[in-house]
Amino acid sequence: MHELVYTSAPRGLKSGSQGFCTVACTAGIPPNLMQRLEALSGYRHLFPPHESKSVVNPVAYSHLILNIGGTEWHVLSRIADAGLDYTQRANKLAHHIALEPHELPAAGPAAMFSQTQLFLQHWNHNPMTITTSRTLPNPESSPRVCTSWKEATDDAGWGGVLAETVKDGRSVTLLVSPEMNPLALFEESLALLPPKLRWQVAWTTYYTRFPSGVACRWKCLIVDSSAPPPIASPSDTLIIDLTQPMRKPVPTALVKLARVGATSQNTPPIVPVPVVKKTVEAPTSDTSINPPSSKTSKETAAVSASEQRPDVKKKNISAETIASQPTPKHGLKDKKTTAYAESSSEDSEQHNTRGLLALIGLGILFLIVPIIVVLILLAYRGEKPPSKNKHNRTPHQQQTLPPPETHQPEPPPSEVLPLNTPQQPPPEIME
C-alpha cells in the first residue's frame, strides 16, 4: 500500500506555477506511480470559495484501476475543496491510497471511504514522508436494502440496476444535484455484488476530466444552473437522471434483492399453501358443474376448482392459483377434446376451401363447353358433306380439276387435204 497527499505548497516551498505539490508520500513509492497519482489530483470548484454555496462543493470520491509497469494498482482517492491557500487562492486537498490486488478488502472500495479516519480532510503540516504503514479496515458490507436509492428515486430497486451493469459491462452516467451523496448510492449497489466483483469497476462521484488512458465506468455529473453543461455521453451509456422522477425498473434478481424489506409493512405475510397432487380424470357425462357455494372456505373452493379442472392439476399448481382461474360452465373439456375441436375446425376450413374451388371450376366448365359446341356447329355448317362420284373425288377436288376435253372423230386419211395444196380437178372419165 502506498499513499500520496497533494495540496497547495506552504509558504517558502518551491513548487509549480500554481503552487501545488506533493506534501506527503509513502517512503519507497515507485516514481512512475507517484507521477500518475499527481496527474489524478485535478479538481474543479463548482462554486468559488468566496460564495456562500462553496460549502456544498462536491467531494470527489473515486476508485480507479491503473496498470503501471505490468502491475495493477487500485487507487482510492478523496479530492475536496480546502478553502483558501496562503495566496488567497482556491485550494484543494487530494489524498490517494494505491493498493495491489492482494491487499483488497472484501468490503469493496466504496466501504473504505466510510472509514473517516482513513483519509485526510485537512492539512496543516509541513511536507513529510510517511514511514509508518497502516492496516486497512475491513468493515461489514453485505447485501441490504438500498435506502439511499429509495430516498433518491422512490424505489430501492434502482440500486440493483446499477449493480447489474458490472456484469454486462455497460457504462453509467448519473446526473445528480450538488446536495446529493452519490457515495452512499455506490456503496449500496456494490454491496449487492460478490466481493470479487466489487473491485472490477472504476467509478467517481464527481467527474470532470481524467488523463488519457484512465478508464471510468460509473460517472457522476453535477446538474446545476450555474455549472457548465454535462459532458456528452456515448449512445450505449446508461443515463440515470436522479434530478427527475424515475419509473419502476424491471424486476430482475438484483433489483428484487435491493428491494428486500422495502415494502414489508404494506405487504401481508405470505402463507404457504399446500399443493394438490391428486389427479382427477374428467367424467364421461356432460353434466354441468356448479361453482362452489359462498359458504365454503377458500381452500375448499380451490380444491373443488382443481378437481373440476384436471388439466390444471396435472401441472401441480397451488390451490390459490387454481381458485383464481375461472371455472368452466358448459361441461368439461380435456386436452383431447380441445385438440379434436381444433383439428375439426381446421378440416372444416379446408373442406370449405375445396368446395369453393370446385364451384369455381364448374362455373368455368359451364361457360367454356357451350362456346366450344357453338364453334363446332358453325364450322360444320359451313362445309358440305362429302359425296362420291365416278372418279372417287370430292366436290372440292372436282372444282379444282380442269374440265374434260371433248374428242371429235378424226376424218379418214383420204379426206384430209394437205394444207396449202391446190385442188386438182377430178380426172376425166375416159371414154
What 3-state DSSP class applies to 422? coil
300-334 confidence digits (pLDDT tens)? 444 444 444 444 444 444 444 444 444 444 444 44
Structure-block grid coordinates of residue 374: 357453338
- Please give the full DSSP string across 148-212, using - where no structure is assigned: HHHHHHS-TTHHHHHHHHHHHT--EEEEE-TT--HHHHHHHHHHTS-HHHHTS--EESS-S---T
Q: Is pLDDT at 187 greater than 70 in this prediction?
A: yes
Q: How is the beta sheet containing 20-26 ordered, strand by strand?
A: 128-130, 20-26, 2-8, 90-99, 71-84, 60-68, 203-204, 218-222, 172-176, 238-241
pLDDT band at 357 (very low <50, low <70, confident <90, very high): confident
Supply the pLDDT for residue 228.
Answer: 57
Minimum mean pLDDT range among 79-88, 228-237, 250-259, 321-330: 321-330
Q: What are the DSSP E strand ranges found in 69-131?
A: 71-84, 90-99, 128-130
Supply the pLDDT for residue 394.
Answer: 47
pLDDT band at 233 (very low <50, low <70, confident <90, very high): low
Residue 171 phi, psi (nearest 5): -95, 155
Supply the pLDDT for residue 375.
Answer: 86
What 3-state DSSP class applies to 81? strand
Supply the pLDDT for residue 418.
Answer: 52
Share of the chain above pLDDT 90, in %: 36
User: How many C-beta atoms surround the C-beta of residue 352 within 10 A?
Assistant: 10
Supply the pLDDT for residue 427.
Answer: 52
Q: What integer best gives the mean pLDDT of the chain? A: 74
Supply the pLDDT for residue 63.
Answer: 97
Looking at mean pLDDT, say which of 39-48, 60-69, 318-327 comes out highest: 60-69
The residue among 59 and 363 whose pLDDT is bigger is 59
Q: Is pLDDT at 422 greater than 80 in this prediction?
A: no
Q: Is pLDDT at 230 greater than 70 in this prediction?
A: no
Supply the pLDDT for residue 425.
Answer: 54
Minimum mean pLDDT range among 31-40, 222-231, 238-247, 326-335: 326-335
Nearest Cα residue to 217 out of 188, 191, 197: 197
Supply the pLDDT for residue 225.
Answer: 57
Q: Is pLDDT at 379 greater than 90 in this prediction?
A: no
Q: For residue 21, which amino acid is it?
A: C
87-108 confidence digits (pLDDT tens)? 778 889 999 999 999 999 999 9
Distance CA 234, CA 168 (A): 16
Q: Is pLDDT at 201 greater than 50 in this prediction?
A: yes
Supply the pLDDT for residue 229.
Answer: 56
129-181 confidence digits (pLDDT tens)? 998 888 888 888 889 999 999 999 999 999 999 999 998 889 999 999 888 89
CA dihedral 24, 26, 28, 33 (to 10 degrees): -80
244-257 confidence digits (pLDDT tens)? 999 999 999 999 99
The model's pTM: 0.59
273-306 confidence digits (pLDDT tens)? 344 444 434 444 443 334 444 444 444 444 444 4
Distances in whole angstroms, Cα of residue 9 to Cα of each of 17, 29, 123, 126: 11, 20, 11, 9
Supply the pLDDT for residue 385.
Answer: 52
Supply the pLDDT for residue 15.
Answer: 44
